[in-house]
A and B are shown apart, each in its own frame.
Chain A
Amino acid sequence: MNSLPPGMLLILGALVIPFLKGRTQKVYGLLLPVFSAMHMVNLPPDHLIHVQMFDYVLTPIRVDKLSLVWGYVFHLAALVSIIYQLHVKDKLQDVAGIMYAGAAITAVFAGDVVTLFIFSELAAVASAFLIYANRNTRSATVGTRYFIIQMVAGVLMLFGILLWVHETQSLDFGATYSSGDWQLYGMFVDPESRMPVNPAAWLFLIAFGIKAAFPFLHNWLQDSYPEGTVTGTVFLSAFTTKLAIYALARSFAGADILVPIGLAMTLFPIFFAVIENDLRKVLAYSLNNQLGFMVVGVGLGTQLALNGAASHAFAHIIYKGLLFMAMGAVLFRTGTVKASELGGLYKSMPLTCLFCIIGSLSISGFPIFSGFVTKSLTLSAAFDTHQIWLFVGLLVASAGVVDHSGIKIPFFAFFAHDAGRRVKEAPLNMLIAMGIAAFLCIFIGIYPEPLYALLPFDVQADASGAAWQNYTASHIVTSLQLLLFAALGFAVLYRNGWYPSELPALNIDTDVIYRKVLPAGIRWIARIGRKGIGGARAKALGIINGFIVWIRGHHSPEGIMGDPWSIGATALWAAVLLGIYLIMAYL
């Protein structure tokens, strides 16, 4: 069993689902992540498997502390998502969801770029079906857009692999970071310049950047996640982007360029989130913002920063999943997640509301919730650089989180003005899944030590080994001041009618380029082309016509070749020819 990559049980196990029925199928699906997690936990620490393929060495399994953090949380996310999906009678979603989770887990344990490529692409293919599963024209369009963009990232990565292997003759993907160095550098980063080492590394950066939703490469995320099925989006929120963060953490630690990129990611989505009406889209922007904190952590590349990125990814998968579950439950019961059509649902869905608030407090980083003890590692690592723009930017981003995920999501869905919807509470399985996630949000917040023990490095405040402390009076009070004064800002603006109202409208983002500008451009070129082709066609016809007229000039009855000869003249010319032939025969 030690040669079976972690996650493979889920991939292979998903293939059996179509042959099972009813409750057996659901129980089987539920057991898969449990067995897969047991398999992963039982692998020896620092386990490596090498396979010779022609002249190259593949490493399909590499277990170390960095891969294990993601391994644990991906299994947890798979289990919670499967529970959340128990009521859905759709084998397509069960197969797609479980295979997607399995592929992402296998990719995390990939020790070479080929294995990473194969399984991250399998994850991309499987995940597209969680959008297609809505089975309508819109989901077909959105799913295909999502699929194409994932494939573009895949192709870029493939080119990166070819170039990289050509230059280095090695397929290795990263190595286990030495715990002796405080400042770390990934395999694609030049420690001198702190930039990607070569063009191949840049290709990897762009490929990972698409999947991690870097600015301008991000919009597939906000386009597709709100269009997934109620339960499919919970799967989607966990894996693709966090797999990309893992890949960055594994290979791009210490890349300076990631710090401004990450900071931009924390900032721009918060403005879009404020004015977005679709609450699952608000969460997609919020997800983008959270990824930014992790990208900053990877770019800083110190042990503290990488611990921050890893622990933030862990906590984030749980609270973001919880928020998507709460909005999924609202969509499932009411048929909409548009803020302009919701409000007052706390009366009908009190438990969902409670779980949502726990998710909101966690993502905002309130003391005793998971965001507080995880995001602070990255923030502290960032502030250690003493760069004022990073300090101001990350604090603004933290205040932004209070708005979109801390206030907007629970407030407009469950409170605000009562939209009069009287629906049933979410189904039991959804409540259990949300309950588990909510419990973990609080558990990690109060007792972060078990999570810290999983992190790739010992949790220390600085290179000298100073102890890390979460619950100091200063940290608690300053955090509460930032969060509750931001909340006061909301209260003042909302009560005075200055808060932007929730409107049934659409906001364009970079998707306008490929959904509007490019198609219009292509249509324009086609029109010009048609005009051009029309002109060329007329010219060619003219030439052909001229030729026909010229031929006819000679061969028509009036032409020289069409002139009828008399029998006498014909006989005379025949006699002349025969005569010449006779003479030539005798010569």
Chain B
Amino acid sequence: MSPTPENHRWLDHPKNARKLFIGLILVDLALLVIGELIHKHGHFDAEISVPAFYAIFGFFAYCSIIAGAVLLRKMIKRKEDYYDE
């Protein structure tokens, strides 16, 4: 069911969802800049020497998890009444 006009909120508009997305990109860009300005601590060389290590790691780890989950779904997905209980 789509939202009724009286219940239509700011977020329902695709344009605003896009604004949020752009906002997130801007925040992330800001984090990249700040990350290069501060003094970094770490237990491993890569944390300090690789620029934006945590940003790159976060993005790719996340995407790999989703890719892994998609593969997993292919193997383990069954109908809702599979166990027939």
Contact = CB atoms under 8 A, between A and B. Distances in A.
Contacts of B21: 491, 495
A485 B68 CA distance: 18
B62 A422 contact: no
A194 to B, nearest CB: 21
Contacts of B69: 270-272, 274-275, 500
The main secondary structure of chain A at its interface with chain B is helix
A418 to B, nearest CB: 5
Interface stretch (A101-109, A370-378, A431-439, A472-480): A472-480
A489 B43 contact: no
B68 A472 contact: no
A395 B83 contact: no
Interface in A441-486: 472-475, 477-486
Contact of B59 (A137, A489, A506): A489
Interface string B2-23: 1110010101100000000100
A493 interface: yes
A72 interface: no
B7 A505 contact: no
Interface stretch (A79-87, A170-178, A292-300, A507-515): A507-515
A391 interface: yes
B57 A420 contact: no
Contact of B38 (A386, A402, A403, A473): A473
- Of the candidates B40, B53, B57, the one having the most CB atoms from chain A within 10 angstroms of its own CB is B57
Contact of B57 (A399, A491, A508): A399
A418 B3 contact: yes
A276 B40 CA distance: 37
A89 interface: no
A46 interface: no
B66 A484 contact: no
A235 B24 CA distance: 36
B31 A271 contact: no
Contact of A347 (B7, B70, B72, B77): B7
The main secondary structure of chain B at its interface with chain A is helix
A191 interface: no
B61 A486 contact: yes
Interface string A489-528: 1110101001110011111110000011000000000000
A474 B79 contact: no
Interface residues of B, number: 53
Contact of B35 (A138, A420, A481): A481
Nearest to A140: B85
A481 B58 contact: yes
A182 interface: no
- Of the candidates A400, A422, A482, A508, the one having the most CB atoms from chain B within 10 angstroms of its own CB is A482
A440 interface: no
A403 B24 contact: no
Contact of B66 (A473, A474, A499): A499
A506 B54 contact: no
A489 B58 contact: yes
A415 B11 contact: yes
A508 B83 CA distance: 9
Contact of A481 (B4, B11, B43, B55): B55
Contacts of B66: 274, 403, 489, 493, 498-500
Given A481-B58, A499-B66, A420 B83 contact: no
Given A383-B44, A395-B61, A485-B58, 9 more contacts: A274-B65, A399-B65, A478-B53, A481-B55, A486-B59, A504-B80, A505-B80, A506-B83, A509-B76
Interface of A: 137-138, 141, 270-272, 274-275, 344, 346-347, 380, 383-384, 386, 388, 391, 395-396, 399-400, 402-403, 415, 418-420, 422, 472-475, 477-491, 493, 495, 498-500, 503-509, 515-516
Interface of B: 1-4, 7, 9, 11-12, 21, 24-25, 27-28, 31-32, 34-35, 38-44, 47, 52-66, 68-70, 72-73, 76-80, 82-83, 85
26 contacts: A271-B65, A274-B65, A274-B66, A275-B77, A383-B44, A388-B44, A395-B61, A400-B61, A418-B3, A419-B1, A420-B1, A420-B4, A478-B35, A478-B40, A481-B52, A484-B24, A484-B28, A485-B31, A488-B28, A489-B66, A491-B21, A493-B66, A495-B21, A505-B77, A506-B78, A506-B82
